[in-house]
Amino acid sequence: MKVLIKDVRLAFIESLWTPKQYQGAGPFRRSATFLIVPGSDNDKLIEAAIQKVAADKFGKKAATVLAGLRGNSNKCAYMDGNTKADYDGFPGMMYLASHRKDADGPVLVIDTNKAPLSEGSGKPYAGCYVNASVDIYAQDGQNTGIRSGLIGVQFLRDGDSFGGASRSDGSEFEDLGNGVEEAEDFA
């Protein structure tokens, strides 16, 4: 079920552009994690999608299956952020871990004006705010779980960068014009 979450903080984006294997094994995939305020419209939207896809996939057993999946990050993409309390931004939040198989192609990453962004552009970054398109789905069989497929990310606005690196919007610098005058030769 395709879901658009809006104005959420982005975390763990080291494989947004360049696919990596999960813990060094399995298929290569692109990933991003989104921080969700509990009780927010985004939280309600994700929960409704989870309930819908679980009911569609598991029928009358949906509540029982979901109860067994909740709290296990290998089984449920939507988790309590307090389970990752050592990471910036996670305490008191929910988080949605989304992935895209490398074979499915790159993730759409765009700016506020829908212009494509590249890895070297400096945005999005961990700690900024984004809109994200994800596909919530239920999987049964050997790997039963509730998953989140990563479709696209739109940079929305700046936020405090996670990991301690400060960001600049340029306002702390003065305008030096088109060039800097050469220093006088005092020799």
- Could you tell me which residues come within 8 angstroms of residue 132 by beta carbon, excluding any fewer than 6 positions away? 4, 5, 8, 10, 32, 34, 98, 150, 151, 152, 153, 154
**9, part of any domain:** yes
* Residue 164 pLDDT: 55
**167, part of any domain:** no
**84, part of any domain:** yes
**60, part of any domain:** yes
**150, part of any domain:** yes
CATH code assigned at 30: 2.40.50.140
pTM of the model: 0.86
* Residue 33 pLDDT: 97
* Residue 185 pLDDT: 52
**185, part of any domain:** no
**99, part of any domain:** yes
State both tokens at 75. Answer: 């089984």
Among residues 131, 57, 176, 17, which one has the least CA distance to residue 49? Answer: 57
State both tokens at 70. Answer: 């909740």
Among residues 33, 12, 5, which one has the least CA distance to residue 156? Answer: 5
Domain total in the chain: 1
> Strands 94-101, 25-36: parallel, antiparallel or unpaired by DSSP?
antiparallel
Successive 10-residue mean pLDDT values, the chain, 187 residues: 98 91 89 98 98 97 96 96 94 97 95 94 94 97 95 96 65 69 51
Domain that holds residue 127: 2-157
* Residue 23 pLDDT: 83
**186, part of any domain:** no
Question: How large is the angle between the packed helices 41-58 and 62-69, nearest 10 degrees?
Answer: 120
